[in-house]
Amino acid sequence: MNNNYAIGVFDSGMGGLTSVKELNELLPGEDIIYFGDTARIPYGSRSRETVLRYAREDVAFLLKHKIKMIIAACGTVSSVIGSEPLVDNMPFTGVLLPAAQAACAATKTGKIGVIGTPATIRSGSFGKAIKAIMPHAKVIGNACPLFVHLVENGYTARDCQITRLAAEEYLTPIKAEGVDTLILGCTHYPVIKDIIADIMGEGVKLISPGAEAAKYAQSCLMSADMLNEEGHVGKNTFYVSDSRELFEENAKHFLEHPVSGEVFSCNLGE
Amino acid sequence: MNNNYAIGVFDSGMGGLTSVKELNELLPGEDIIYFGDTARIPYGSRSRETVLRYAREDVAFLLKHKIKMIIAACGTVSSVIGSEPLVDNMPFTGVLLPAAQAACAATKTGKIGVIGTPATIRSGSFGKAIKAIMPHAKVIGNACPLFVHLVENGYTARDCQITRLAAEEYLTPIKAEGVDTLILGCTHYPVIKDIIADIMGEGVKLISPGAEAAKYAQSCLMSADMLNEEGHVGKNTFYVSDSRELFEENAKHFLEHPVSGEVFSCNLGE
């Protein structure tokens, strides 16, 4: 392992790009190797066993490349594994702990909302992580099974009535509890943060787990003296398990600009 | 191969159960072996190449069992393969041709609507199949990317506002063309047929591809003298690639009664 190796990032699909975007801004000298399992998305409606199996295969794929750290930029994977790392020979983080820490730092009332996929909410992991930091916190979770599909299919405009209706259904019970902080517990959700913010109201701070994981990676690499030493502008390389074309078509919604970097299609099953 | 072998049915998930339900009614003496690829659903938002790869793996799984016929009870698979069978040593049908034939028999005006997944509509297969039978037919297609997710996540009540809003968006352009027949080109869609019927209006005949494929299988087995000769009540056996529990929880929406038959979880990747 070498400081000039890349940071490996994976997600069930394109949600993890919200983390790549933040990494590019925070650590412009780092190379990123991204794997998006677009042939098997969504993870969040699957069983714990299937999510774990897929996550291990994703990590095995990244480990075939020259990487020095792995970020599981997927709320479902991060929740299902809890505080267990998926590798033991290099720095690793999911989005769970960085997001829980950010939420605890942000809340004033100790009432924190968590939204995520059914698998994430079923696991109760965000609640456990928050209570480990702030034992008296009140955590209110709600599953949002349609959000990942709405985002992946482009229903992301601020005035999209279908997404607003789904968001009202999912967020109203959380808002009624008077939370002042809301964890967007799936890396797809920041793409519709305007709609979520409109419904939650101005007083509620939204926590983006992909961005918090990127900040955590930055401090982790800095404190371990593992930053890239080449003094170059890092490059992104993307691997996806479905077609390149479908990826490039949608990735811009997550990156907020067209894909910069090479994109390759690969087949995990072969 | 033996007349007393089972009929093999597969789908990306649970949509094919609309076909199983019809087979149980039409051919109560037949055994059914069903495979639902619930660990990789949805197929309809994936590329042609990935859908083909998954379909071949599904067929290979069924061929490990004692079967005498295969039904691809998945609109996306049926569309992507067109008129090519996925096996050459036994009777095979997708849902494409049976649904196209039923639509051509039902239409009076020659204006036929088709709704399906993005992959199905992109393929144009239903339009080609209809025009091969009725060259002057006018076919109006529209992709409904959210429907499969709405159905798989239980947004199926007739008064569900989110599903109604999505259905209005997808169906209004088709209704405006004055179709008198609408193919529900994905085996998930019959579960929300009440909502679709409400929007399309009384004069429009809805064609359920899973049910049409079951009728085709009946006539195929009868004409080839391949019906089960044991004189027993056939049994259903279900295999799913994700967990049994998630399958049993949702399957009743498709079967309109609880699952009757054993359910096994299996892993295609191993």
For B166-179, the pLDDT digits (tens) are 999 999 999 999 99
Q: Tell me the pairing of strands A92-93 and A181-184.
A: unpaired
CA distance B79 to B94: 8
Are the Cβ atoms of B50 and A155 closer than 8 angstroms?
Answer: no
Reply yes or no on whether the pLDDT at A226 is more than 90: yes
Which residues of chain B lie closer than 8 angstroms to A53, CB-CB?
267, 269
CA distance B121 to B167: 16
What is the average pLDDT score of chain B? 95
Are A107 and A193 in the same domain?
yes
Task: Give B191's DSSP letter.
Answer: G
Are the Cβ atoms of A162 and B169 closer than 8 angstroms?
Answer: yes
Q: How far apart are the first and last CA of chain B?
A: 26
Are B122 and B215 in the same domain?
no
- Asked which of A171-185, A189-203, B83-97 is least confident by mean pLDDT, the reply is B83-97
A&B contacts, CB < 8 Å: 66
- Asked which of A23-37, A214-228, B152-166, B252-266 is least confident by mean pLDDT, the reply is B252-266
Tens of pLDDT, residues B65-84: 999 999 999 999 999 998 88
Q: Last residue of a domain, which of A184, A209, A234?
A: A209
Reply yes or no on whether the pLDDT at B136 is more than 60: yes
Are the Cβ atoms of A243 and B165 closer than 8 angstroms?
Answer: no
Counting every residue, how long is chain B? 270
Are A72 and A120 in the same domain?
no
Reply yes or no on whether the pLDDT at B109 is more than 50: yes
Are B147 and B189 in the same domain?
yes
Q: What is the mean pLDDT of residues A40-65?
A: 95
CA distance A270 to A49: 21
Are B85 and B147 in the same domain?
no
**Chain B contact for A87, CB < 8 A?**
no
CB atoms within 10 A of CB B268: 16
Q: Which residue matches tokens 């920041």? A: A190
φ and ψ at B208, to 5 degrees? -95, 115
- Residue A123 is assigned to a structural domain of this protein: yes
**Chain B contact for A50, CB < 8 A?**
yes
Number of domains in chain B: 2
- Residue B270 is assigned to a structural domain of this protein: no
Q: How far apart are the first and last CA of chain A?
A: 26
By the 10 Å C-beta count (0-12 exposed, 13-18 middle, 19+ buried), B233 is classed as exposed
Q: Which residue matches tokens 């949608």? A: A250
What pLDDT does A82 receive? 85
Is the model's pTM score more than 0.90?
Answer: yes
What pLDDT does B270 receive? 47
- Residue A1 is assigned to a structural domain of this protein: no
Which residues of chain A lie closer than 8 angstroms to B53, CB-CB?
267, 269
Confidence of residue A267 (pLDDT cuts 50, 70, 90): confident
Are the Cβ atoms of A155 and B162 closer than 8 angstroms?
Answer: no
A77 and A85 in contact (C-beta within 8 Å)? no
What percent of chain A has pLDDT above 90? 89
* Helix (H) or strand (E) segment spanning residue B139: strand B138-143
Which residues of chain B lie closer than 8 angstroms to A241, CB-CB?
50
CA distance B102 to A141: 47
Amino acid in the structure at residue B200: M
What percent of chain B has pLDDT above 70? 99
**Chain B contact for A244, CB < 8 A?**
no
What pLDDT does B84 receive? 84
- Residue B38 is assigned to a structural domain of this protein: yes
Q: Last residue of a domain, which of A162, A188, A209?
A: A209
What distance in Å separates residue B246's CA from the closest CA in chain A?
7
By the 10 Å C-beta count (0-12 exposed, 13-18 middle, 19+ buried), A219 is classed as exposed
Q: Last residue of a domain, which of B209, B227, B256?
A: B209
* Helix (H) or strand (E) segment spanning residue B190: none
| Strand arrangement of the beta sheet that strand A181-184 belongs to | A138-143, A111-116, A181-184, A205-207
Residue A186 is a catalytic residue:
yes
Q: Look up the CATH number of the domain holding residue B173.
A: 3.40.50.1860
* Helix (H) or strand (E) segment spanning residue B38: none
**Chain A contact for B45, CB < 8 A?**
yes
Q: What is the mean pLDDT of residues A242-256?
A: 88
A121 and A107 in contact (C-beta within 8 Å)? no
Shortest CB distance from B162 goes to which of A40, A166, A267?
A166
**Chain B contact for A56, CB < 8 A?**
no
- Residue A270 is assigned to a structural domain of this protein: no
**Residue-wise DSSP of chain A:** --TTSEEEEEESSSTTHHHHHHHHHH-TT--EEEEE-TTT---TTS-HHHHHHHHHHHHHHHTTS-EEEEEE--HHHHHHHTT--S-SSS-EE-SHHHHHHHHHHH-SSSEEEEEE-HHHHHHTHHHHHHHHH-TT-EEEEEE-TTHHHHHHTT---TT-HHHHHHHHHHHHHHHTTT-SEEEE-STTGGGGHHHHHHHH-TT-EEE-HHHHHHHHHHHHHHHTT----S-S---EEEEESS-HHHHHHHHHHHHSS---SEEEE--TT-
Are A199 and A101 in the same domain?
yes
Are the Cβ atoms of A46 and B246 closer than 8 angstroms?
Answer: yes
Q: Which domain holds residue A181?
A: 97-209
What pLDDT does A256 receive? 82
Shortest CB distance from B47 goes to which of A47, A153, A246?
A246
- Residue B1 is assigned to a structural domain of this protein: no
Which residues of chain A lie closer than 8 angstroms to B38, CB-CB?
46
What pLDDT does B257 receive? 82
Are A102 and A190 in the same domain?
yes
CA distance A75 to A9: 13
Are B201 and B109 in the same domain?
yes
Shortest CB distance from A46 goes to which of B155, B162, B242?
B242
Are B15 and B90 in the same domain?
yes
Reply yes or no on whether the pLDDT at A269 is more than 80: no
Tens of pLDDT, residues A124-182: 999 999 999 999 999 999 999 999 999 988 999 999 999 999 999 999 999 999 999 99
- Residue B222 is assigned to a structural domain of this protein: yes
List, in order, residues 6 or more apart from B249 with CB less than 8 Å away.
Answer: none
Confidence of residue A252 (pLDDT cuts 50, 70, 90): confident
CA distance B51 to B49: 6
What distance in Å separates residue A97's CA from the closest CA in chain B?
27
Are the Cβ atoms of A39 and B40 closer than 8 angstroms?
Answer: yes
Are B76 and B122 in the same domain?
no
What pLDDT does B269 receive? 60
Tens of pLDDT, residues B4-26: 999 999 999 999 999 999 999 99
What pLDDT does A30 receive? 97
Interface test with B, best of A162, A163, A170, A242 (most B CBs within 10 A): A162
**Chain B contact for A172, CB < 8 A?**
no
Are A131 and A233 in the same domain?
no
Can you tell me the ipTM of this complex? 0.88
For chain B, percent helix, then strand, then coil, each to nearest 5?
A: 45, 15, 40
Are B61 and B114 in the same domain?
no
Which residues of chain B lie closer than 8 angstroms to A246, CB-CB?
45-47
List, in order, residues 6 or more apart from A4 with CB less than 8 Å away.
Answer: A31, A228, A229, A230
Reply yes or no on whether the pLDDT at A270 is more than 60: no
What distance in Å separates residue B121's CA from the closest CA in chain A?
15
Token code pair at residue A82? 């809890």
What pLDDT does A172 receive? 98
Q: Which is nearest to B76 in space by CA: B113, B37, B108?
A: B37
Which residues of chain A lie closer than 8 angstroms to B241, CB-CB?
50
Residue B144 is a catalytic residue:
no
Name the closest residue on chain B to residue A13, using Cα atoms: B46
Which residues of chain A lie closer than 8 angstroms to B267, CB-CB?
53
C-alpha dist (Å) from residue A148 to A14, B57, B146: 10, 26, 11
Shortest CB distance from B47 goes to which of A47, A152, A243?
A243
CA distance A245 to B44: 15
**Chain B contact for A161, CB < 8 A?**
yes
Confidence of residue B1 (pLDDT cuts 50, 70, 90): confident
CA distance B152 to A145: 10
**Chain A contact for B172, CB < 8 A?**
no
CA distance B261 to B25: 15
- Residue B163 is assigned to a structural domain of this protein: yes
Which residues of chain A lie closer than 8 angstroms to B153, CB-CB?
45, 145-146
